Structures are given as structure tokens and as C-alpha cells.
Amino acid sequence: MIKAGIIGASGYTGGELMRLLLVHPKVKVTVATSRKLDGNDVCDTHPHLRGLTKLKFQNLEPEEVGSCCDVVFVAVPHGTAMYIVPQLMEGKAKVIDLSADYRLRQDIFESVYKLEHKDPREAVFGLPELHPEIAGATLIANPGCFPTGAVLAAAPLASAGLISSVVFDSKSGITGAGIEPSQTSHYPNMAENVQAYKLTTHRHVAEFLQELSRLDSSLTNISFTPHVVPSIRGILTTAHIFTKEKLELEYVRYVYDQMYKDKPFVRVIEGIPSLGAVRGSNFCDIGFEVDHRNNRIVVVSAIDNLVKGASGQAIQNMNIMFGIPETEGIWYAATFP
């Protein structure tokens, strides 16, 4: 059994990691840390886990967690992991960081997040469909939720060098804002409402640029505007992809089918993806239509932001790192409707 620890286990991603790992056939969760909840039953904070675990939160130093685990998931706020990961890396444990601290090159991270990076070591960007080198990695930088859905939506056309520009428009459930309440997530402000924010300055754009320019170095014209919608889970991304030439629907489908034919968690579908069809699962559904008049492909992707957008993808990465089937423990249907 793989012994797993979770640092920062009291939040949404920590709770989702535990929900999935507690029924993973090859994993035993041995440590769940929280400074403020030290000694409390995990199930008091995550009541959906009642009957599945008797773990209590512990306030342990990273070295202690790393010494007793084979893999450690770091689910802490941005700017915090860089102080934790160096201590974990001194031990035997493989590390999967769910924050942004290791996703970007040092200078880009510091420019985007306005923080000095204290540990600018290299990590593998944990998008399994695009990074086979995950298999040999000891440190994974789990992607952001918006970049996961958006990059997967555009990657086939970017890889083929067919994109002149792309505009991403994403709608996210409220859990994307984290467990701490805010004015944005306050019920009277969110119910029956859709809120756009950071119209041109969202920090995840750096991840879009990094990953899509890896596939096509000439692709730099990338725009993104996020919205939060009155839904708990999910991200629906509409990618307006303007192409360098007129493309027929059959060819576009061929390009997507070829890239994702051996990728079990990406489903290229007929029609328009929906959040209900992926909620609670690790799938990313992708559908598209061709707009010949404007040399535009409208690609829609749907993911669960807490699963494929965070914790499920982290476990997918763990599976690959340990040489077990990437679907192990996360191969199940959505909770539709």
C-alpha cells in the first residue's frame, strides 16, 4: 500500500483528496495535517467522510510527514508550499503540490504572484495528457483548475500549429474560490447571479501561455475572462479559437481524436458538454462546432474543478508516478444529474 499524507487537509481540496484516497485500493491515508484543527476528528470538518476514517488532524512538521509517507499532497495557499516542499524533498516521499508555487518559471511566478520565490526548483507540470515525464518525477506541480479545462480544450489545435488566437471564457462554481467565505461567495451576492472578475488580469493566464506555447511557440495571442456562477462544482470553458485557415468539422474531430485516443479521462463527444455529466468525476468532456464564416472553432470543455481541476488530477498524477494504472481509484461515473 502507498502511504499518503495530506498537508492542509481541512480545505475543499484536502477533503476531496481524502474522499477519493480513502477508497483507493492501493493507498492508505496515514496523515492529515491542520494547524488550527490539531487533535480534532477529520470527520467533524468533513462530515461526508463519516464511517470511512477515524483519522484526527495533526500539527506535524513537514519532515515528520515526509518520513512516514510515500507520497505527500500539499494543499496549502499559494506562497506557502515553497517553505514546505524543500523539507519534504529531503525525505523519501514523492510530492504533489496543489498550489501555484511550482507551476511557473521563477521570474514569471514572481511577476504574477508578487512574491519572492524561496525555492525555485524545477517541477513537472502535472497535466497527464500533455506531460509523459510525470512517470519519472518526484515533484509535481498540479495545474490550476482553469488551465486544466482550457488547455485541454485548445491543445490539439495548438499542437497542429493551427491557432492564430484564442479567447477563453470560463464559468466556475463557487468552490473555486476556496473554503474561506468572501463577499463573492456570500449567498445573497451569488444566488441568481453571474459575476465576471479579473477581466484581463487573471493569474492563470501565465499557465495558459506556458502550456500552449510549449505546443506552438508562435502562439502568444491568448485571452481569458473568468466568471463565477451559482453552482458548487464545475468549470465550463468556452474557447473561441481563431484558426489560420478554414477547417472542416471532420478534420477538427480527427485532430482531437488523435491527441486524446489513449487518454482515458478526456472524452471527445458529439454535442455540447455539460457540468452535470462530469460532476464528481475526473473526466474532461470536450465538444466543438466550426464557424466557417469567421475561421473559428468554438470548443467547450467541462470539468469538475475539485476533481479533474485539483484533487482527482493529483491522484491521477500519483498513479502515474508509482507505475500503477492512471485510472486506479478514480475511474467512476459522474453524479449526474
* Residues labelled catalytic: 145
Sheet with 27-33, strands from edge to edge, namely 27-33, 2-7, 71-74, 94-97, 139-141, 124-125
Distance, in Å, from the CA atom of 78 to the CA atom of 178, rounded to the nearest integer, reads 12
**How wide is the angle at C-alpha 10 spanned by C-alphas 9 and 16, nearest 5°?**
65
Helix, strand, coil abundance in the chain, percent, nearest 5: 35, 25, 45
Q: Is the dihedral of CA 150, 152, 157, 159 positive or negative?
A: positive
Distances (CA, A) of 158 to 21, 154, 165, 217, 270: 34, 6, 10, 9, 21
DSSP assignment of 15-68: HHHHHHHTT-TTEEEEEEE-STTTTSBHHHH-GGGTTT---B-B---HHHHHHH
**Distant-in-sequence, close-in-space partners of 51: CB < 8 Å, separation ≥ 6:** none
328, 25 contact by CB (below 8 A): yes
Pairing of strands 139-141, 94-97: parallel
51, 42 contact by CB (below 8 A): no
Judge residue 225's burial from the number of C-beta atoms within 10 Å of its C-beta, 0-12 exposed, 13-18 middle, 19 or more buried. Answer: middle
What grid cell was written down for 43? 470527520
The three-state secondary structure class of 189 is helix
